Chain A
Amino acid sequence: MSLDKFNVIIVGGGLAGLAAAYKLAQNGIEVVLVERGDYCGSKNLSGGVFYSRVLDQLIPGFEEEAPVERYITNYITTLMTEDDYVNIEYKGKALANTPYNAISVLRAKFDRWLAEKAEEAGVMLVTGIKVDKVLTEGGRVIGIQAGDEEMLADVVIAADGINSFLAQQVGLKEPFRLEHLAVGAKALIELPREVIEERFRLSGQEGTAYAILGEATKGVAGGAFFYTNLESLSIGVVMRLDDLVKEKIKPSEALDQLLEHPLVSPLVKDGKMIEYGAHLTAEGGLQMVPSKLYKSGMLVVGDAAGFTINSGLVIRGMDLAIGSGMAAADAVIEAHLKNDYSEQTLSSYARFLDESFVMKDLKLYAKAPAFMENDRLYKRYPLLANKLFEKIYNHDLKPKNHLKNLALESLKESEMSMFDLIKDGLKGVRAL
């Protein structure tokens, strides 16, 4: 049994852990990062684009050298029914400016690159080791245990992901509730670069990201994502667990049906699936974030802390992970200067989070998860939009009607009242 002691041990080499590690090493603090996979990124999976400007603060000009797949210039929101869809597309010229607003990444490559940067900055990277538990002494976290090995540190940062067993072990969090979790099932589809650029009307490294509501999840609360990488497409369904167990839908079957939907099928034609993955994601916003993310000798960052924002159109997690990792590093730097790692000193983590965009945005969107629980969003609105457009464009030789009447008919056919519409509209503009 070795009893090495370090300033900081970080458990988990995802974006939160790596951002914290990088910033700490940059500030001359001795930091060990322990990752259970063979390399950082080997256990990681993303189901959305990365709003990456925060990483530019940590590593200025990172996009010049990082394995960026594409920068997202085209955003498409899709309301989907079984056979039809309505798309709303936005293409913004400014979205192509650097530092990029959002990029698509493949985490096994991207996180591995960030880990190399962290090592260059002085982080000691230990891979292929699973941390079994944190060591405590008198209510204080003093290190970690992995198999027979123990390693001591002034501070342990739990960056061990959405299932964070470490934060649970020390009582900082309970297992997340079903309504706060969703499972994402994702396929990676290989296609030649030119084919992707032609089909998605992209030039150079531009990229497209779809947010899909409705039939993609067979009416289960959640949605689907679909975005372009350089030579592949990422597509997946995200289904909230509380609704999934009610509806009893298999995630992989929902994904299969999405791949055959008229929206998707021509875009993935002749593509070859090269990887299949699944991951849990947080859906509860601020509500699921544990009230306290620090204790003597320990901080909790990233998915382990439940940091995600889903406003229906924009889903964020990776940027919050990096922001929280940087805030944790700031707190540890302050504690290091005082040589005091007590709960009170480390509570500055909460202050750094409050001052950063992480908490500001989580608070701003605090009502979004409750709004997103409304199952009309997944069942009724996609139907309404598709019925309305069908009535507008489909000339069946019967006398036409005014738009207002078409809208009222569509509303009735999608089993909603004007009152529902007004109520949801008012709630929506306040929550989102």
Chain B
Amino acid sequence: MKILTDTEKLALDKYEVNEGQPHILINQELCQACSTKNCLFACPASLYSEQDGEIIVEWAGCLECGTCLAVCSNNALTWQYPEGGFGIIYRYG
């Protein structure tokens, strides 16, 4: 079986993206003081990355599991579910 990259995996899924309305906000100051940066590997959708010293999240691909919020050791995330009707739409589940 062909092994897909994480981007290819997410491309299989159906989303309704709430353009311009991120449901995850990051406090960069707290991230800069963070020594663990657990978000970078723990997110099962691999949506977090570090660019020019800032933590970036590609929130549109979020699977809404809440792992990043749970493992964030500096409480740097403001995380809520996307607005009603938006976000991941599992067709199988």
Contacts and interface: CB of A to CB of B under 8 A. Distances in A.
B45 A252 contact: yes
A276 B13 contact: yes
A46 B4 CA distance: 21
B74 interface: no
Interface string B37-48: 010011011100
Interface in B59-93: 63-67, 69-71, 73, 80-85, 87-93
A106 B71 CA distance: 28
Q: What is the interface residue range for chain A against chain B?
A: 35 or more
A277 interface: yes
A38 B85 contact: yes
A219 interface: no
A273 B4 contact: yes
Given A252-B46, A273-B12, A108 B91 contact: yes
Nearest to A245: B38
A245 B12 contact: no
Contacts of A407: none
B93 A45 contact: yes
Interface string A214-258: 000000000000000000100000000100110011111000100
B66 to A, nearest CB: 4
Interface string A21-54: 0000000000000001110011111100000000
A290 interface: no
Given A36-B84, A276-B9, A259 B70 contact: no
Given A108-B91, A279-B65, A241 B1 contact: no
Given A252-B44, A252-B46, A276-B12, A178 B90 contact: no
B10 interface: yes
B67 to A, nearest CB: 5
B3 A37 contact: no
Interface in A271-291: 271-280
B14 to A, nearest CB: 9
A262 interface: no
Interface in B8-32: 9-10, 12-13, 16
A392 interface: no
A176 interface: yes
Main secondary structure of the interface of B (DSSP, over half): loop
B6 interface: yes
B49 interface: no
Contacts of B64: 43
Contacts of A110: 93
A128 B85 contact: yes
Contacts of B91: 108, 275
Nearest to A126: B84
Contact of B41 (A43, A189, A250): A250
Contact of B3 (A36, A259, A279): A259
Given A251-B44, A260-B3, A187 B93 contact: no
A265 interface: yes
A110 B16 CA distance: 21
A111 B41 contact: no
Nearest to A177: B70
A117 interface: no
Nearest to B36: A245
A244 B85 CA distance: 31
Contacts of A77: none
B85 A249 contact: no
Contact of A244 (B3, B13, B42): B42
B9 A252 contact: yes
B9 A178 contact: no
**Max count, chain B CB within 10 A of own CB: residue among A106, A271, A272, A273:** A273
A314 interface: no
Given A106-B93, A130-B84, A275 B12 contact: yes
Contacts of B36: 245
Interface of A: 36-38, 41-46, 106-111, 127-130, 146, 162-163, 165, 175-176, 178, 181, 183, 185, 187-189, 232, 241, 244-245, 248-252, 256, 259-260, 265, 268-280
27 contacts: A36-B81, A37-B89, A42-B88, A42-B90, A46-B93, A106-B92, A108-B93, A129-B84, A130-B83, A163-B66, A178-B70, A183-B42, A245-B42, A245-B71, A250-B46, A265-B1, A268-B1, A269-B1, A273-B4, A273-B12, A275-B12, A276-B9, A276-B10, A277-B63, A278-B63, A279-B63, A279-B65
